[in-house]
Amino acid sequence: MKTFKYSLIRVTPNLEKGETINVGLIVYHDSDIDVRMLNSVSKLKAIDKGLSQNYLEDLSNSLFDLSHKINDVELLPCLFKGSLSLSSFGMFT
């Protein structure tokens, strides 16, 4: 049975308020990633009207691009802190 690692993609538009929403998931497999984002931005817009579907698509593309530029995709969570963060690894089979 194969085991996969994953990280939640979290956005905190206003660090002072501390309202965080999980907007996606990264599944790590071998030296690549699979990114899945929210289908609807209604939860995002409830926290910050400026966030959009385009933001999520741009974020997803940026994560893919970055994953191909670093040697170890499992380093991704270390690169994001603040208003955009990735959770510590979880695992599933």
pLDDT digits (tens, 9 = 90+) for 67-91: 888 888 888 888 888 899 999 999 9
pLDDT over 90 at 62, yes or no: yes
Q: What are phi and psi of 67, to 5 degrees?
A: -65, -25
Q: Into how many domains does the chain fold?
A: 1
Q: What is the pTM of this model?
A: 0.86
Dihedral sign of CA atoms 57, 63, 68, 69 in order: positive
Listed in sequence order, the DSSP H helices in the chain are 42-47, 53-67, 76-79
Owning domain of residue 69: 4-92
Task: Identify the CA nearest to 36 among candidates 4, 60, 66.
Answer: 60
